Amino acid sequence: MSIKATEIIIMYKKHLTKVDPVLGAVIKQIKLRPLKLQKNYFQALVEAIANQQLSGKAAQTILGRVLTLFKSKKFPTPQEYLKMSDAKLRSAGFSNSKVVYTKNVAQFFVERNKEIKRIHKLTDEEIIKFLTEIKGIGVWSAEMFIIFSLGREDVFSYGDLGLRKGLQKVYNFKKEPTLKQMKKIVKKWKPYRTHGARYMWASLVKK
C-alpha cells in the first residue's frame, strides 16, 4: 500500500471516529480492504446493470457466462459487444431488458467516446446527469460508478438497500430509517461519506 493510501485511511478513520462515535465503534471492529477501482468504464456500467435486482453472486455468474461468448475471454469493447446477438446474451442469463440496457451502454460509449474520456473532470452531479441519459442507468448505478470507478470519497447512495439496512443495524433503528434520518447521520461524515458507506456495507457481513 502506498504512503498516500495509508495517509488517506488514517485521515478518514480519524475524522469519522471524531464526528460519529457510533461509526467509530464500527471502525474499530472492521478492517476495510483498499478500494479496488474498475478503470474499464464500459465494464463498470455493464456490471452495474448486471447487479440490478440480483445478488452479487448471481450477477457474477451471469457475467462469467457473458465473457465466454467472446473469443478473447476478456471483457469486450463496446463495439464487440454491439455485434453479439441478443439471443446469445439472453442464453448467458441476461433478461430481455438487461440485454437492451447493456447494449444502450455500448452504443452510448461508441457515440459519446470523447465525452466519456473527460468524465473524471465532471462534478458528481454532472456525472449522474450525463450517465442517466442512458436508458438502463439510474442514479444508483451512476453513484456506484463514481465510487468504484472514479474512487471519489464523498458519495453516499440513499437509494441503496444495503446502506439503508446497514444504518438500521448500526444505529439500532426498529425499521429502515427514513431519508431524513439517514441524512442527519450521514451529513456528519463529509467529506468521507464513501468510506462511511463502505463501513455500512461491511457491517452487514459481520456477525
- Helix residue ranges, H only, the chain: 3-19, 21-29, 41-51, 56-68, 78-83, 86-91, 96-111, 113-117, 124-131, 139-148, 161-170, 179-186, 193-205
Q: Are residues 45 and 83 in the same domain?
A: yes
How far is Cα 178 from Cα 161, in angstroms, rounded to an integer? Answer: 12
Q: Are residues 78 and 129 in the same domain?
A: yes
Domain boundary among 148, 169, 185: 148
Q: Are residues 144 and 168 in the same domain?
A: no
Confidence at residue 2, expressed as pLDDT on a 0 to 100 scale = 60
Q: Are residues 65 and 135 in the same domain?
A: yes
Domain CATH for 9: 1.10.1670.40
Q: Are residues 48 and 144 in the same domain?
A: yes
Looking at residues 31-38, what average pLDDT do you find? Answer: 87
Q: What is the pLDDT of residues 152-186, one digit of tens each?
A: 999 999 999 999 999 999 999 999 999 999 999 99
Q: Note whether 54 and 60 are within 8 A (CB).
A: no
Confidence at residue 207, expressed as pLDDT on a 0 to 100 scale = 60
Q: Are residues 48 and 117 in the same domain?
A: yes
User: Is the predicted pLDDT of residue 1 greater than 80, yes or no?
Assistant: no
User: Is the predicted pLDDT of residue 7 greater than 90, yes or no?
Assistant: no
Domain CATH for 77: 1.10.340.30
Confidence at residue 51, expressed as pLDDT on a 0 to 100 scale = 86
Whole-angstrom CA distances from 27 to 14, 98, 138, 169, 202 are: 10, 37, 30, 14, 10
Q: What is the pLDDT of residues 77-129, one digit of tens each?
A: 999 999 999 999 999 999 999 999 999 999 999 999 999 999 999 999 999 99
How far is Cα 54 from Cα 45, in angstroms, rounded to an integer? Answer: 15
Q: Are residues 114 and 161 in the same domain?
A: no
Q: Are residues 69 and 48 in the same domain?
A: yes
Active-site residue, selected from the candidate residues 20, 86, 154, 160: 160
Q: Note whether 200 and 170 are within 8 A (CB).
A: yes
User: Is the predicted pLDDT of residue 3 greater than 70, yes or no?
Assistant: no
How far is Cα 135 from Cα 128, in angstroms, rounded to an integer? Answer: 13
State yes or no: is 124 an active-site residue: no
Domain containing residue 174: 3-35+155-205
To which residue does cell 450517465 refer?
Answer: 131
Domain boundary among 107, 130, 148: 148
Residues 6+ apart with CB under 8 A from 4: none
How many domains are there within the chain?
A: 2
How confident is the prediction for the chain on average, in pLDDT? Answer: 93
User: Which pTM value belongs to this model?
Assistant: 0.90
Confidence tier at 5 by pLDDT (50, 70, 90): confident
How far is Cα 202 from Cα 152, in angstroms, rounded to an integer? Answer: 18
Domain boundary among 110, 131, 148: 148
How far is Cα 199 from Cα 103, in angstroms, rounded to an integer? Answer: 33
Whole-angstrom CA distances from 25 to 18, 33, 106, 199 are: 11, 18, 43, 11
Q: Are residues 180 and 90 in the same domain?
A: no
Question: Which region among 21-30, 66-75, 81-90, 178-187 has the lowest average model confidence (pLDDT)?
Answer: 66-75
Q: Are residues 82 and 98 in the same domain?
A: yes
Q: Is 89 exposed, middle or buried (0-12, 13-18, 19+ CB in 10 A)?
A: buried
Sign of the Cα torsion 119, 123, 124, 125 reads negative
Confidence at residue 157, expressed as pLDDT on a 0 to 100 scale = 96
Q: Are residues 63 and 143 in the same domain?
A: yes
Q: Are residues 52 and 141 in the same domain?
A: yes
